């Protein structure tokens, strides 16, 4: 299944963060902008021009040119002289590898996730928060061709996806309030409905042990998710199972898949000494 493109809300989020800390002498705006340039290279955006980066970051091309030039010198970007576009350099790989190496939970989770993917004929994903998105850090598909075309490194919205809602249900009230405030700033017209759905998701989590997104993120996609909170150096994560609504009904997900997700989360907690 193909997915629609999403506006770069994380850039607007960074704008609001910069505005918030503009008087903080410890906040380096240039560094924040440079990191935002790297964040433009989402899954599926392998190469970008200065103009495309400028549009995504809402910055003048001259500013972007200085940032990309600096990032090339440091090895975080490479420049294709033929196309004139940029791609991520090997220096960014070391950052990602360092983070993923700490998430050794992925190795334990992968075979358990694959079992559920094969059983459900859907896609099972482990994710963690990245601003107002959930970042896929492990992904298992069934052999069915009717699964979503997303992979490790993909991002989905935190407020409307079951994975994001499971994260919010496990997060502290302070963090949840902060995220809700960011959502309100970015989408005032839809914020009331989105916030109501988040509150409903927290209630569902307390009653069902999982959160749901039945056509809320994409109208033809159903999914449920369970939070995974291991403490220590681990971020809060969420385990999600989803797929096309015509093959994964809400009843099947809740009655058949939900107990399996809960069992996997319990096994992972035991393996990591959390139970």
Q: Are residues 74 and 147 in the same domain?
A: no
CB 213 within 8 A of CB 200: no
Instruction: Report pLDDT for 35.
Output: 87
Query: What's the pLDDT tens digit per position in 188-242?
Result: 888 888 889 999 999 999 999 999 999 999 999 999 999 999 887 788 999 999 9
DSSP, res 48: B
Among 95, 119, 145, give the residue marking a domain's end: 95
Q: Are residues 238 and 137 in the same domain?
A: yes
Residues in the chain where the model's pLDDT stays below 50: 1-8, 10-11
Q: How far is residue 264's CA from residue 275's CA, in Å, rounded to a whole number?
A: 13
Q: Are residues 248 and 158 in the same domain?
A: yes
Report the predicted TM-score, pTM, of the whole model to 2 decimal places. Answer: 0.72
**Long-range pairs for 185-192: beta carbons < 8 A, 24 or more residues apart:** 185/16, 186/9, 186/12, 186/13, 186/132
Asked if residue 63 is part of any domain, the answer here is yes
Q: Are residues 170 and 113 in the same domain?
A: yes
Instruction: Report pLDDT for 6.
Output: 40
Asked if residue 225 is part of any domain, the answer here is yes
Q: Are residues 185 and 57 in the same domain?
A: no
Asked if residue 1 is part of any domain, the answer here is no
Q: What is the CATH number of the domain that holds 26?
A: 1.10.10.10
Q: What is the CATH number of the domain that holds 178?
A: 3.30.450.40
Domain count within the chain: 2
Residue 46: domain span: 9-95
Q: Are residues 108 and 55 in the same domain?
A: no
Q: Are residues 134 and 243 in the same domain?
A: yes
* DSSP secondary structure letters along 256-275: IIHHHHHHHHHHHHHHTT--
Q: Are residues 151 and 129 in the same domain?
A: yes
Q: Are residues 83 and 200 in the same domain?
A: no
Among 95, 112, 139, give the residue marking a domain's end: 95
DSSP, res 76: S
**Long-range pairs for 22-30: beta carbons < 8 A, 24 or more residues apart:** 30/67
Q: Are residues 80 and 118 in the same domain?
A: no
Four-CA torsion 173, 226, 219, 44, nearest 10 degrees: 90
Q: How far is residue 239's CA from residue 264's CA, in Å, rounded to a whole number?
A: 9
Instruction: Report pLDDT for 56.
Output: 86
């Amino acid at each position: 299944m193909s997915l629609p493109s999403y506006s770069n809300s994380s850039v607007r989020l960074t704008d609001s963060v910069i505005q918030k800390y503009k008087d903080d002498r410890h906040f380096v705006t240039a560094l924040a902008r440079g990191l935002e340039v790297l964040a433009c290279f989402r899954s599926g955006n392998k190469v970008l021009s200065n103009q495309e980066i400028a549009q995504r970051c809402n910055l003048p091309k001259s500013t972007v040119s200085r940032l990309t030039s600096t990032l090339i010198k440091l090895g975080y970007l490479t420049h294709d002289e033929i196309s004139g576009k940029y791609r991520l350099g090997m220096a960014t790989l070391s950052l990602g590898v360092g983070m993923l190496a700490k998430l050794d939970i992925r190795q334990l989770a992968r075979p358990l996730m694959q079992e559920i993917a094969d059983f459900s004929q859907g896609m099972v994903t482990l994710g963690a928060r990245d601003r107002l998105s959930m970042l896929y850090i492990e992904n298992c598909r069934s052999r069915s061709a009717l699964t979503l075309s997303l992979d490790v490194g993909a991002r989905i919205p935190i407020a409307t996806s079951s994975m994001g809602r499971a994260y919010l249900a496990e997060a502290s009230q302070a963090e949840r309030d902060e995220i809700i405030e960011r959502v309100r700033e970015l989408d005032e017209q839809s914020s009331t409905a989105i916030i109501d759905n988040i509150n409903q998701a927290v209630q569902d989590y307390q009653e069902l042990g999982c959160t749901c997104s039945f056509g809320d993120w994409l109208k033809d996609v159903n999914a449920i998710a369970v939070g995974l909170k291991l403490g220590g150096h681990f971020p809060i994560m969420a385990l999600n199972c989803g797929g096309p609504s015509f093959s994964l009904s809400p009843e099947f997900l809740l009655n058949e898949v939900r107990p399996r997700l809960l069992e996997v989360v319990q096994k992972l907690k035991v393996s990591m000494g959390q139970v």
